[in-house]
């Protein structure tokens, strides 16, 4: 039964459809397909489709070339900018090193100046302290001398009271006052 179902399928194949028909006959499907293809190609040539397609392809190729040229230009520009930034970075790094070196020199100079100022300040304070000490010594000597004079005058007054009369005492006191005044001036 399977053999019987294959026979109608074989009878419907294109090879059996053409049969013994000559090639240049309208009954031959290969000839019809060939004529249709040639007519299609003729229509394409008549409407100048290949030149239109060629122009479109040329236009697209030119656009691609322009895009490539723009990409190259942008790449070169990017490289120039990158090189410029690298130069600037080196310059800034050099400037930063110079600034740090200047800051160190300035800090060292300030420290030296501060040391000198401190030495001068200490010397000035020592001199002021020495002057104060000298002034205090002078004041102490004067105070001791004044106290000694007062004690001497009091002692002399006591001695004079015991030794002589009122007139002698008065003359002695006057003489002692004149003597003290002379010595103090």
pLDDT one-digit tens code per residue, 125-159: 999 999 999 999 898 888 888 888 888 877 777 77
CA distances from 94 to 74, 89, 101, 126 (A): 30, 8, 11, 48
Tell me the per-residue pLDDT of 4-20, one tens digit each, with 9 for 90 and over: 454 444 444 454 454 57
Q: What is residue 9's predicted lDDT score, i.e. its pLDDT?
A: 44
Q: Is the pLDDT of residue 36 over 50?
A: yes
Confidence (pLDDT) at 104? 93
| Rounded percentage of the chain residues whose pLDDT exceeds 90 | 54
């Amino acid at each position: 039964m399977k053999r019987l179902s294959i026979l109608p399928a074989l009878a419907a194949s294109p090879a059996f459809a053409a049969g013994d028909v000559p090639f240049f006959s309208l009954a031959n499907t290969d000839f019809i397909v060939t004529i249709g293809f040639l007519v299609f190609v003729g229509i394409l040539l008549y409407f100048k489709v290949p030149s239109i397609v060629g122009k479109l392809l040329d236009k697209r190729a030119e656009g691609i070339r322009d895009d490539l040229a723009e990409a190259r230009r942008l790449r070169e520009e990017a490289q120039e900018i990158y090189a410029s930034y690298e130069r600037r970075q080196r310059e800034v790094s050099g400037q930063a090193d110079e600034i740090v070196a200047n800051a160190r020199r300035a800090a060292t100079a300030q420290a030296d100046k501060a040391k000198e100022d401190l030495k001068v300040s200490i010397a000035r304070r020592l001199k002021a302290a020495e002057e104060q000490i000298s002034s205090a010594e002078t004041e102490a000597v004067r105070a001791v001398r004044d106290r000694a004079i007062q004690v001497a005058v009091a002692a002399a007054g006591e001695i004079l009271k015991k030794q002589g009369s009122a007139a002698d005492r008065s003359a002695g006191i006057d003489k002692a006052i004149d003597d003290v005044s002379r010595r103090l001036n």
